[in-house]
Amino acid sequence: MKPISIWAANAQSELKSLKPTAELSKELMLSAYLTSDTLWLVKEWPDGNRIAFRSAFSPSGKLTIKKINHGNSKINFILACSTVIHEVTVLHDLESKSFRYTVKATPKIPLFIPYWPKDILSFDEEGNIKQEGKIHTHQRGTRSGILFFNDGESGSVFYFQNLTALNQYCETAKSSLGETVGGEWPEIGFYLPPTNAPLEKGKTYGLSDGFVTFSPQLPANPVEVATEYMNHLASTYLQLPRPERFYYNWLDTVEKGLNDLTYHKGCWTFAGGHSYLNAYVADYKSPPEVMVQLAVLMPMLDYLDWKGEKSHILVEELRAGLESFYQEDMGTIVRWLPAAEKNLDHSEEQKKPRVMDSWYLHHPLMNLARLSERGDKNAKDMLLNSIDYVIRVAQKFDYEWPVFYQMDTLDIIKAETAEGQGGEKDVPGTYADLMLRMWKLTGESRFFEEAKKAADKLKGLSFELFYQANNTAFSAGAMIRLYKETKDKTYLELSYVCLAALFDNVQLWECDYGNAKNFPTFFGVFPLKDAPYTAAYEEQEVYSALHDYINEAEDIEILPSLRLLIAEFIRHMVGRVAYYYPPMLKSDMIADEIKTGEIDPKLWIALEDLHDGWEQSGEVGQEVYGAGIAFGIIPQQYYKIKNESFILFCDYPISNFQKRGKSASFITGGDERLSCRLMILFQEPRKTEDNRLEVFLEKEKIIPVKNNPEMLEYSLAGNRKVKISW
């Protein structure tokens, strides 16, 4: 038997003999129990087992109820102990088999809180703490406050702690909300982080805002876990208080960034007869990297297509140097520019000649394939000359890639991300993506067979599939393309597993304490499973990959929860990521010591990293290869209307865009229970005929929520047909 804490032992002892203090929901079999120190919210399962959620808690004991207020689907408790007045509100929803409970506290004296127990305990029929349960996933770092688990054989529980509600507490207490939801069975859930400064007397603080969903399902394999997870997450998302997103003018920012990227000397280095982009501003020590050049070039080309321009000096410069990354003796492109490999300082495992980080080989080749599709002969030659090497590596490692390997000998330098956790587990998906592009490009069936062999290695993986956010998102796209070609549902389900792992690495709360008061965080993506910060480059690539996934799934019946989550990520991302640019931030929140290169606070080049509110941001560096943010967003969210003086902007993905005469129509993505923003942006002084503009949602005319000489703004439901006439 696992040992338990004194707080758990006290709860076990008292709850065995207590009768309910109040019935919260007969249908959910949910009741409130008052022990000496806690108001417990207890759910009884059909099998007689129970699970309890700690709401109000008094470390000093002697908690008493002063008042209970009943409502239709709501009940409110006022409680007191010697040091704190508590208010607990419980709301339940029968349709979703869920309830929400909020806890607020008002200290009677200035108060330190050095410890707080976890808030979930599970009991068997005899009232003893249950020893067995399976945790599918939990919060890591400052990601969403999620805990998803099977409660023995009774059922599964999706627990979401809305950490946004605790900002005031953390601001006063100088505390962080990282690693606060999790634990080890049998004591799991959320704990209030200890205070580093006292709570103020007479001030009310949110201490908990929990959303709990019960299910009789016991997901037993990765596909079931992923499906249940995303369905619960989407259902909870609909109930969450969400920050309102603003419109950010990317049309202005993109030209600032393009100018700085082209002419700022810190962005460039010269080696081997060509100019190359640095990975980070003023990083002259590291040799140029092939991934960096292509990571900027590809979204730049998309932007030029949108503008209707054929080329740009930056594009020509980047293209000119690509061939120098090809290593003739190995028959492949390499990560570091061969002409400058001597500058590698060996300070890290990968900063050595001919050492490859597994995903780094596939990523630039995927972009070379995209260039080949555009008719770029040099890119196609490099790709075709490298592809046999890539396949040889895949077969050598049996489609399970290590973290680092020596390119010429294929010796493994670092096999695992951590002991017992394996290598880069999402790389089979990026390899499959590359192979499918090769198949489309050449028609050779061997590439299609390679894609299927790699996809097989994703089977049996769950949340641990995630190594790096962009690669996991690309993997989802590869799997849905395999499904479209084979009609084998296994591949569609594998795409769900990839996306569940991706959405398990986001921050679904608004951090509003410390430095984070200066930038939005809601729906931010973390680049690695253990990364302590969100990152500009990975966010932009995830954004592009999810757009691609939705486009591929246009005529496929996928999970509605997935359409909702993807659309909402896109909506929040297009306003939020502008805050990676230093000119958008306060100077004192930018790191003083920089790991790589230097930071120019006036430069419209994104910082790599935004951190928890109590930390400075930008400590990794100002990433040149993150310059694709604006280039990538504009072609996806802004729609030019030929021969007209206005541009459409929608912060959801849209489909079936058509222009006929003096009208345009499209279908909004997402879910009809949520809304998106449509803006009509006038690029010239507004004309009299512009007043004839009308917008219809499913044939019903709608009125703009904002109307001024520069623009019209509308609020549209998701998953609806829209028509604009003028």
DSSP calls for 330-345: TTEE-SB-GGGGGG--
Domains identified in the chain, total number = 3
Indicate the DSSP class of residue 230. H
The pLDDT value recorded for residue 689 is 66
Q: For residue 273, what are the contacts with CB-CB under 8 A and spacing of at least 6?
A: 324, 339
**Pairing assessment for the beta strands 187-190 and 155-161 based on DSSP bridges:** unpaired
The answer to whether 507 and 526 have CB atoms below 8 angstroms apart is yes
- pLDDT for 71 equals 86
pLDDT beneath 70, residues of the chain: 688-690
* Strand, coil or helix: 513: coil
Q: Are 600 and 575 in contact (CB under 8 A)?
A: no
Residue 243 forms part of a structural domain: no
Q: Are residues 607 and 675 in the same domain?
A: no
Domain harbouring 553, CATH code: 1.50.10.10
Report the 3 state secondary structure along 414-480. ECCCCCCCCCCCCHHHHHHHHHHHHHHHHCCHHHHHHHHHHHHCCCCCCHHHCCEHHHHHHHHHHHH
Give the range of the structural domain holding residue 679, as residue numbers without chain letter. 641-725
Cα 579 to Cα 167, 605, 630, distances in angstroms: 20, 11, 12
Alpha-carbon distances of 548 from 2, 361, 475, rounded to whole Å: 47, 21, 11
- The pLDDT score that the predictor gives to residue 73 is 87
Note whether residue 232 is domain-resident: no
Do residue 211 and residue 275 come from a single domain? no
Quick one: 608 and 645 in the same domain?
Answer: no
Distance CA 206, CA 167 (A): 8
The pLDDT tens digits for 324-343 are 999 999 999 999 999 999 99
Is there a single domain that holds both residue 581 and residue 713? no
pLDDT of residue 465: 98
Rg (CA), the chain: 27
**Domain end call among 605, 635, 665:** 635
Asked whether residue 233 is domain-assigned, the answer is no
The per-residue pLDDT for 685 is 83
Residue 241 lies inside a defined structural domain of this protein: no
352 belongs to a structural domain: yes
Run of H or E including 177? none
Number of C-beta neighbours around residue 249 at 10 A: 10
Q: For the purposes of burial, counting CB atoms within 10 Å of the CB of 145, is it exposed (0-12), middle (13-18) or buried (19 or more)?
A: buried
Residue 568 lies in a domain: yes
Same domain, 481 and 393: yes
| Beta-carbon contacts of residue 6 (< 8 Å; ≥ 6 apart) | none
Residues 111 and 154 in one domain: yes
Residue 227 forms part of a structural domain: no
CA distances from 205 to 62, 189, 425, 548 (A): 21, 20, 42, 42
The three state secondary structure string of 44-110 is: ECCCCCEEEEEEEECCCCCCEEEEEEECCCEEEEEEECCCEEEEEEEEEECCCCEEEEEEEEEECCC
Q: How far apart are CA 412 and CA 410, in angstroms?
A: 6
For residue 96, what pLDDT is reported? 86
Taking the C-alpha atoms of residue 643 and residue 640, their distance in angstroms, rounded to an integer, is 9
Instruction: Tell if the pTM clears 0.95, that is, is over it.
Output: yes
Q: Which residues contact 11 (CB under 8 A, 6 or more apart)?
A: 35, 38, 40, 52, 54, 121
Domain boundary among 218, 235, 270: 218
User: Are 604 and 679 members of one domain?
Assistant: no
**Distance in angstroms (rounded) separating the CA atoms of residues 436 and 562:** 23
Do 196 and 324 fall into the same domain? no
Residues belonging to the chain = 726
Distance CA 522, CA 133 (A): 30
Domain boundary among 202, 218, 234: 218
Pair of tokens at residue 588: 């004192």
* Shared-domain flag, residues 516 and 386: yes
Q: CB neighbours of 654 closer than 8 A, spacing ≥ 6?
A: 639, 666, 667, 668, 669, 722
Please provide residue 115's backbone torsions phi and psi, each rounded to the nearest 5 degrees. -155, 150
Which residues are registered as beta bridge partners of 617? 590
Q: Exposure of 689 by Cβ count < 10 A (0-12 exposed, 13-18 middle, 19+ buried)? A: exposed
Q: What is the residue whose two structure tokens read 């990297």?
A: 289
Per-residue pLDDT tens for 36-56?
Answer: 999 999 999 999 999 999 999
Q: Which helix (H) or strand (E) holds 387?
A: helix 377-396
Return the sign of the alpha-carbon dihedral for residues 243, 244, 250, 253.
negative
Any domain includes 710: yes
Whether 325 and 419 map to the same domain: the answer is: yes
Cα distance between residue 273 and residue 262, in whole Å: 18
State residue 91 phi and psi, 5-degree precision. Answer: -125, 140
In this structure, the answer to whether residues 623 and 680 fall within a common structural domain is no
Cα–Cα distances (Å) from 399 to 100, 402, 444, 456, in that order, read 44, 10, 20, 9
| Whether residue 186 has a cis bond before it, omega within 30° of 0 | yes
Same domain, 378 and 421: yes
Task: Please report, rounded to a whole number, the percentage of residues in the chain having pLDDT higher than 90.
Answer: 94
